[in-house]
Structure 1
Amino acid sequence: MSTINIKAAVIAGTVAGVASGLVKLGWENILPPRTPARNQTNPPQRLLEQFGVPAKVTHATYTYSDTRLPWVSYLIHFGFSTTFGALYSVAGHYLPVLRLGQGTLFGLGVWGAFHLGIMPAMGTVPNAKQQPVEEHVSEALGHMAWMWTNHVISDAVYRQLTKGE
């Protein structure tokens, strides 16, 4: 195994996480995972409220083009995406099995762990059997597209940062 440039891998994964976070948001505009009623308090907002953050903070918005947008939800969304982008970028150098399917299988695993296991167990989202099939389809495919984007972009950025090493 060649030497891994950890700093370059973290930077590459973070850059990829921002781009893939945008991809995931776009995906959810095409295939919304939740009904409007269930999205009144989305999972990031609910999670923060479970930790005691007041609704006036979790539901804080900014307005762009006459549209109110949930900036606190976006902080959580992009924090999750950049964290997993960096984790995938670094860990994939040490555990190549994570890179099977160009990240799509890893993305599917993240979806299963969080949307079928951790978040239902915490009461953040309903039990997996109580979630509509549309939510499962959107989230499973969206996580695969999200992590594939992380894979492609982090690889390209890592190569650029380390060329000549």
Structure 2
Amino acid sequence: QLLDYLDGRECHDRVLPILSRNLQSQCPDRRRLALRGLQVLSVDPSMAESICSLAESLLELLHHEDGELVAMTLSVFLNVLRDEDLQAFSSAAPKLAEALCPLFDNDNSHVQLLSIRLFREMMEFLAEEGQKTLVQQSLVPLFFHCRDE
């Protein structure tokens, strides 16, 4: 709740290292709190670039068995993608596309919907960046998922 009152531009250099450490914690509650903090901070477009520096840690959480944790992670990525001038995201995009495909069949319907939504927005982002080959390759798993439904 405290993060709601902080200006991300002023405190991100102090808050992000703490959140980063807690994302990698073995304690599920610490990871959950770190993700909640990132959800709050990621709403601020000025934080998108800084949050991209945590992409590797966030990508690891997409493989977690806790659906709520995965949904929170997907929400952070969705918020970050709202910044249309985000160049730092381009390097994480191929890994994110790979990580999203298994989530289309997740048992948690909320995770399924968020992953498909994120996938769509990411494909639009990549198409605008001129990475059409990656877009085309990434659409194949989604096509098969939709066909199976």
Give yes or no for TM over 0.5.
no
Specify the TM-score bucket, using the shorter chain as the normaliser.
under 0.3
Question: Structure 1-normalised TM-score?
Answer: 0.24
Question: Structure 2-normalised TM-score?
Answer: 0.26
Q: Counting helix residues as a fraction of each chain, which structure ranks higher?
A: 2
Question: Of the two structures, which has the highest relative contact order with CA contacts closer than 8 Å and spacing of 6 or more?
Answer: 1
